[in-house]
Amino acid sequence: MPPQRALERDRPLRLGVMASGEGSNFEALVMACRAGQLPAEVTMLVVNREHCGALARAERLGIPAELIDHRSQPSREALDREIVARFRSASVDLVVMAGWMRIVTEVLLEAYPDRLINIHPSLLPSFRGAKAIEQALEAGVRISGCSAHLVALEVDSGPILVQAAVPVLENDSAQTLAERIHEQEHRILPLAVQLAAQRLGLLPGAAS
């Protein structure tokens, strides 16, 4: 993807994260920022489940978190409008879907064009959608992995930023394969955020 016009910035890149589950990718992103591996800061977490593990991680890490229960919203568009409002209130520049288990709409895509990144546990375009790890095991593939990509309206179809391959072992279960894939997700997600931000001119490193 060619770089876009560079922008002048007078503050660090501000990231918003969306999560529905345990939040290990959320924490990996926070730690990459704090370690100086990614020149940015995670400024807000949005979750859609009251008891998801990501909330506990946010409290431990000192990251502001907002619960927006999808069941209380009349539509997917209404949910996304709430998310956009929260992120805009925190001046978020770029949004990361780190285990967000809801299909997003044009409302979110139009608010953050080319600034919405997803991490998916397969080597896209193979095994899109839910239960990608189980799909890979059922298909009998010998190599799986993970992909970080820009989000498009069609599920798991946007331009790929970074991928990492993981061997599928003969005695693998969904859990054991997921553990190895998650290790690689934690590694490539900060890199994908940096690449996307550089392309937009939000971080140094892109041609103007």
Q: CB-based contacts of 133: which residues, under 8 Å, 6+ apart?
A: 121, 122, 144, 174, 177, 178, 181
How far apart CA 194 and CA 197 sit, in angstroms, is 5
Catalytic residue list contains 51: no
DSSP E strands: which ranges in 20-64?
Answer: 40-47
How far apart CA 145 and CA 165 sit, in angstroms, is 4
Q: Burial, 61: exposed, middle or buried (Cβ in 10 Å; 0-12, 13-18, 19+)?
A: middle
Annotated catalytic residue: which of 51, 70, 120, 149? 120
Strand duo 143-150 + 160-167: pairing: antiparallel
Structure tokens at 30: 């926070």
Catalytic positions, written as ranges = 120
